[in-house]
Chains A and B, each alone.
Chain A
Amino acid sequence: MELTGIASYLVSFLTFAGIYAVLALGLNMQWGFTGQFNIGVAGFFAVGAYTSAILTTPSSPDYLGGFGMPFLVGLAGAIIASTLLGLVVGLITARLRTDYLAIASIGIAEMVRLFVKNEGWLTNGVRGIAGIDRPMADTALASPFAYLVIVVLFVAGVYVLVERAYGSPWGRVLRAIRENEPATAAAGKSIASFRLQAFVLGSAIMGLGGGLYAHFFGFLSPEAFMPLYGTFLVWVMLIAGGSGNNRGAILGAIVVWGVWSGTALLTDLLPTEHATQAAALRVLLIGVLLQVILVLRPEGILPEKPPRLTSRKR
């Protein structure tokens, strides 16, 4: 099914937004639910994407691959790998103060990037992995529109999952930790253990996002997971949409991706010798946008309205 210019752009736009929505939902599980500052989202994103790519691409003399597994196996691998990374990171950081967790998470993302860049035997280094196929390639179901549907289905699935988790007894404990940590600890709940669970679950979701990205874009390189694209945008999305709030995460992804893409359209109007400057300008705009939001409306577009456990006089 051939799509004309605008429709094709729209499909691509929505697919990207959907992938970022998945990442934002994962981050919300860590930040929104349990206040854990993960500035290393890019690391989990990359691990998921690369795992899926390595599992599903055909064999190559340049790097370890050639498992040629189907799409869903790739995604499953992405989730598992990302979960394991989340477990390792979480075990180190679950007891740490917020800022230390943030610093450690930057370190993790950096380690992942170094690994991807240097261990070419596995990841093909800076040359990247190409030719990552859509599911059921060579059939009509490999169209961009079909992939968009797949992504939307995953977004919906993850949304239902996290909403359910939020409302469950487990979610109630998480909310209790946020509202009143000392009391919850006194009630016998292991704060660190719950934080770890939320962190790992969030990592798993981010890994899924990575896998979805790999098969959408078809090509991976370490450059795609620089802190800007892999981490910062996701944070801006979550904050703009409304952190602590799953609907906010999805809304934020769409809105911020819209702003980001919009700036690309604008800077495309500039002469090409200014291409790198234009890219920097876009980053500057998004950065300033974040600061404006943080100062003027830090609760985001959709403020969080969690059910209160106890009524508090304000």
Chain B
Amino acid sequence: MSSLLEAKGLYGGYGGVDILQGTNLRVETDEIVVIVGPNGAGKSTAMKAVFGLLKVREGNVLYRGETITNAKPEQMVRRGIAYVPQEKNVFPSLTVRENLEMGAYLMKGDLSKRLDKVYTLFPKLAERRRQQAGLMSGGERQMVAMGRALMIDPQLLMLDEPTAGLSPLLIDETFERIREINAQGIGVLMVEQNAKQALSIASRGYVLATGSNRHEDTGPNLLANPEVAEMFLGG
């Protein structure tokens, strides 16, 4: 039985310079997998490479056993993979509802069921459905961004630093939501700077540094690992 997502030996980067040096990743259904590491380690780059936003020069990305290396984003969405970038992750001049609708652009039929699901998860979005996304606070925008991704009922949700710039209260809420999403059977792969908190909800984690894997283990084990704690888990 193949993994939900598997990335093997990825080499790639921007403009001819490889940032990823043989990166490996794996996500099973029902897992929350977290990627942590110092700045410039290539965490976001790895995610972008998996989603086809960056050219993978060498290596493979497999989704349920099917090779999807360098596939177009449209094909990723059709397969049920959703990606939430760290910045510029909403359509500012569109309303909340329109943002969500765009998330489900490729889906056929009535969107109301999908919208209801997202509104149930994020009640605040239901309240503000007619508000322009660009006018919302950082935390609310994060919700819109995630909601948009969830509209396709993905099997794999990829999040790039979902708690960046949020207050501690919102960070807690966000991680709680991610747990809820995962509980519904959606695999989650996320890059996080709040390593300690992220690893505490993670099934497994990867520590990346300078584009290659340094550690791979379950969440609790990484938290307990003194090397990891020293390097990254300052607070």
- By a beta-carbon cutoff of 8 Å, the part of chain A in contact with chain B is 312-314
Contact = CB atoms under 8 A, between A and B. Distances in A.
A313 B57 CA distance: 13
Instruction: Across the A-B interface, give the 4 residue pairs with the lowest CB-CB distance, nearest first.
Output: A313-B16, A314-B16, A312-B16, A313-B17
A309 to B, nearest CB: 14
B68 to A, nearest CB: 26
B128 to A, nearest CB: 34
A39 B28 CA distance: 56
Contacts of B17: 313
A82 B15 CA distance: 40
Contacts of B15: 312
A312 B16 CA distance: 7
Nearest to A180: B15
A312 B17 CA distance: 9
5 contacts: A312-B15, A312-B16, A313-B16, A313-B17, A314-B16
Nearest to B16: A313
Interface in B110-152: none
Interface of B: 15-17
A312 B15 CA distance: 9
A314 B16 CA distance: 6
A314 B17 CA distance: 9
Contacts of A314: 16
B11 to A, nearest CB: 12
A312 to B, nearest CB: 6
Nearest to B15: A312
Contacts of A312: 15-16
B146 to A, nearest CB: 31
B21 to A, nearest CB: 15
B14 to A, nearest CB: 11
A292 B149 CA distance: 42
Nearest to B18: A313
Nearest to A314: B16
Contacts of B16: 312-314
Nearest to A312: B16
B18 to A, nearest CB: 9
A314 B55 CA distance: 13
B199 to A, nearest CB: 34
A16 B15 CA distance: 43
Contacts of A313: 16-17
A162 to B, nearest CB: 29
A29 B55 CA distance: 35
A308 B60 CA distance: 33
B55 to A, nearest CB: 13
A139 B32 CA distance: 91
A203 to B, nearest CB: 33
A254 B61 CA distance: 53
Nearest to B17: A313
A313 B11 CA distance: 14
A314 to B, nearest CB: 6
B19 to A, nearest CB: 13
B57 to A, nearest CB: 10
B173 to A, nearest CB: 36
B56 to A, nearest CB: 16
A281 to B, nearest CB: 43
A235 B6 CA distance: 51
